[in-house]
Amino acid sequence: MSRVSGFPGEGGQLKIDHSNEGPSGALSRGIHRFRRLRGDERGQATTEFALILIPLLALVSGIIYFGIGLNYWLDMNRAANQGARWGAVNSWPPQCVRGSASCNSTNASTACSAVNAPASNAKLQDVIRCAVRNNPNVTICYPGKTPGAAGNLGPVRGDPVKVQLTAPYSFFFVNKVRITLTANATLRLEQKPTLIDPADPRVQGPVCS
C-alpha cells in the first residue's frame, strides 16, 4: 500500500511512498500513465492528419483529373486519325456512303443521336465530334488549297487533308487553370472531297490554323 507523509497545510511537502504497494498498484499506475500518453499521441496524430489532408486531396484529385484529360486527348487523337481517313476516301459510313448526293444535313449543334443515325447524311465534322465524349471543335482543312474552288485552286486527289480537334479542359478545383487539348491528323486525298461542304465555316484553307 502507499503511505502519505508531510503536511501540505503547514508548509510541508506531500510525499507518496510507493515502496510498500503491491504488484497490482504498480500495474494500475502504469496503465493510467499509458492511457494518458496514448491520449496525447491521439491528439498529435489528429493534428498532423489535418495538416496533410488538404495537400493530399489536391494531389489525388490532380492525378485523377490528369488521367481523365489524358484519356480525352487519346480519344481525340483516335477520332482525328479516323476522321482524316474518312476525309481521304470521301466516305464515312454508315452516316454517309460514297455515291451520296450530299452529306450536309447537320451542324455543330445537332444532337449526336441524330448524327449517328444510319444514313443521316451528317457532315464529317459532326460525325467526328460525336465520336468523342468531350464534344470538341472539329476543323477540316486542305493546306495550300481553297475549299470548293475549281481547277488547281481546289483540293484534288493526292493533296493533303488535315483534321484538327480542340477542346478546353480545366481542373474542377482550379477553374482558372485551363488548357486546350489538341489533336491533329493529316493524310493524302484518295478521292476528291465532293461530300465535304466547302461552305461550312469549319472547313478551312488554304492556310490551316
Give the residue numbers spanning the domain of 84. 46-204
Residue 31 lies in a domain: no
Residues 6+ apart with CB under 8 A from 49: none
Average pLDDT over every residue of 128-155: 90
Using pLDDT thresholds of 50, 70 and 90, give the confidence band for residue 153.
confident
The total number of structural domains that make up the chain: 1
Look at 51-60, 78-87, 122-131 and tell me which has the smallest mean pLDDT: 51-60
Average pLDDT over every residue of 147-170: 90
Model pLDDT for residues 46-56, shown as the tens digit of each residue: 777 788 888 88
Residue 188 lies in a domain: yes
Using pLDDT thresholds of 50, 70 and 90, give the confidence band for residue 75.
very high
Residue 2 lies in a domain: no
3-state secondary structure of 73: helix
pTM: 0.74
3-state secondary structure of 160: strand
Look at 53-62, 64-73, 190-199 and tell me which has the smallest mean pLDDT: 53-62
Residue 144 lies in a domain: yes
Residue 12 lies in a domain: no
Average pLDDT over every residue of 30-58: 71
Residue 78 has pLDDT above 60, yes or no: yes
Query: Which one has a higher pLDDT value, 21 or 86?
Result: 86
Average pLDDT over every residue of 57-78: 92
DSSP 111: -
Question: How far, rounded to the nearest angstrom, does the alpha carbon of residue 20 sit from its chain's CA centroid?
Answer: 71
Is residue 155 a contact partner of residue 142, using CB atoms and an 8 Å limit? yes
Residue 64 lies in a domain: yes
In the chain, the amino acid numbered 39 is: G
Residues 123, 125, 131, 134: is their CA dihedral positive or negative? negative
Query: Which one has a higher pLDDT value, 108 or 175?
Result: 108
Q: What is the pLDDT of residue 128?
A: 96
Residue 34 lies in a domain: no
Residue 180 lies in a domain: yes
Q: What is the pLDDT of residue 58?
A: 84
Look at 77-86, 91-100, 173-182, 192-201 and tell me which has the smallest mean pLDDT: 173-182
Is residue 180 a contact partner of residue 166, using CB atoms and an 8 Å limit? yes
